[in-house]
């Protein structure tokens, strides 16, 4: 069934997910507008990754609804949701360490193609256009010389960049990124920021899940703040910067035990 409001690619409606006594996501409502970077921010344990997993169908909500591109996707299988056009970057890296950068990227471009493995194993030539696209994307972040490197030899930040490129190369209409710059050095952070801004200018729609407030403010058009499973505030970066409740939520983090 088609649900309205076409300017929004994603609508979260009264979404709820408890883990035992932990209210990870508690009656959340928000929208992601097409062609914008929306940042979902909040202190550790706020529920950001749980929202990510709920949207992707990796876990099912206790109640509420996820509408993607006008379609109710609540309860669909992760693969079916992904095939509707969502590409994502997980909080933990998921590269194939024993493959080269190029091979990892090719996997994203045609992971349904059975011939792919034959080509890879047989060393056949891959399509020139695919190779060009890979070179172009690596070039955008200054990583063209890493094309034939084995992924395990990359630094953590370089792996994140390759994963990000992989998410972009996978055919999609919506990108969801869970903490792309966490643990990444300042130089590569800049590359990631530059890439995100370029993607936005190309008209991409991105939901950026981010702990780092300053990074989120520097790239996003809209900010949604989560705290203890609830939506604490929504607005532009400037509005959110000046919201004392947001600072308070982050300050509280320093005193909470076990946050990483
Ligand atoms: P964030 O991504 O904002 O740091 P999470 O969504 O990972 O937060 O976690 C929100 C809360 O839900 C935390 O208290 C976390 O410990 C808890 N939580 C997340 N996933 C699970 C799970 N699978 N089982 C139990 N508790 C979980
Ligand atoms: Mg998280």
Of residues 85 and 124, more confidence is placed in 85
Q: Which atom of ligand 1 is nearest to the CA of 178?
A: 2
Ligand 1: centre distance to CA 144 (Å) = 37
> At 194, is the pLDDT very low, low, confident or very high (cuts 50, 70, 90)?
very high
Q: State the distance from the centre of ligand 1 to the C-alpha of 42, rounded, in angstroms.
A: 12
Write the CA distances from 172 to 103, 122, 143, 177, 192, integer angstroms. Answer: 19, 29, 23, 13, 19
Helix (H, G, I), strand (E, B) or coil at 224: strand
- Burial of residue 233 (CB within 10 Å: 0-12, 13-18, 19+) is middle
Rg (CA), the chain: 19
Distance (angstroms) between ligand 2 centre and the Cα of 225 equals 13
| Protein residue whose Cα sits closest to atom 13 of ligand 1 | 45
Backbone phi and psi for residue 253, each to the nearest 5 degrees, phi listed first: -60, -40
Residues near ligand 1 (Cβ within 6 A): 19, 22, 24, 42, 44-50
Mutate to test the pocket of ligand 1, among 20, 22, 88 (most ligand atoms within 8 A of CB): 22
Q: What is the pLDDT of residue 126?
A: 63
Question: Residue 247: which pLDDT band, with cuts at 50, 70 and 90?
Answer: confident
What is the tens place of the pLDDT at every residue in 91-121? 887 899 999 999 999 988 865 554 555 555 5
* Ligand 1 atom 12, closest CA: 24
Q: What is the pLDDT, as a whole number, of residue 252?
A: 74
| Alpha-helical segments (H) within the chain | 48-55, 78-83, 101-109, 115-122, 128-140, 156-169, 186-201, 213-219, 237-241, 244-253
Residue 151's nearest CA partner among 166, 162, 164, 136 is 162
pTM for the model: 0.90
What domains does the chain contain, in order, with CATH numbers? 1-85+171-260 (3.40.50.300), 96-170 (no CATH)
Q: Measured in angstroms, how far is the CA atom of residue 18 from the centroid of ligand 1?
A: 9
pLDDT bracket for residue 259 (50, 70, 90): very low
The ligand placed nearest to the CA atom of residue 43 is: 1
């Amino acid at each position: 069934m088609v649900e309205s409001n076409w300017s929004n690619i994603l609508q979260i409606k009264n979404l709820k997910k408890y883990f035992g006594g932990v209210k990870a996501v508690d009656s959340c409502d928000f929208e992601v507008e097409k062609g914008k970077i929306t940042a979902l921010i909040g202190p550790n344990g706020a529920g950001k990754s749980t929202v990510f997993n709920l949207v992707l169908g990796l876990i099912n909500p206790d109640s509420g609804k996820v509408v993607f591109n006008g379609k109710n996707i609540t309860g669909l299988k992760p693969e079916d949701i992904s095939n509707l056009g969502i590409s994502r970057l997980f909080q933990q890296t998921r590269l194939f360490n024993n493959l080269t950068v190029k091979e990892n990227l090719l996997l994203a471009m045609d992971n349904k193609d059975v011939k792919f493995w034959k080509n890879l194993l047989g060393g056949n030539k891959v399509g020139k256009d695919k190779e060009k696209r890979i070179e172009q994307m690596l070039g955008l972040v200054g990583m063209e010389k890493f094309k034939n490197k084995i992924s395990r030899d990359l630094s953590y930040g370089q792996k994140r960049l390759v994963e990000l490129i992989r998410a972009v190369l996978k055919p999609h209409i919506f990108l969801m990124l869970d903490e792309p710059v966490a643990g990444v050095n300042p130089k590569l952070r800049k590359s990631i920021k530059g890439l995100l801004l370029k993607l936005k200018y190309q008209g991409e729609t991105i939901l950026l899940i981010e702990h780092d407030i300053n990074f989120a403010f520097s790239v996003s058009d809209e900010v949604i703040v989560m705290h203890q499973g609830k939506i604490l505030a929504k607005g532009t970066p400037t509005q959110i910067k000046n919201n004392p409740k947001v600072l308070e939520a982050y300050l509280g983090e320093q005193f909470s035990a076990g946050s990483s």
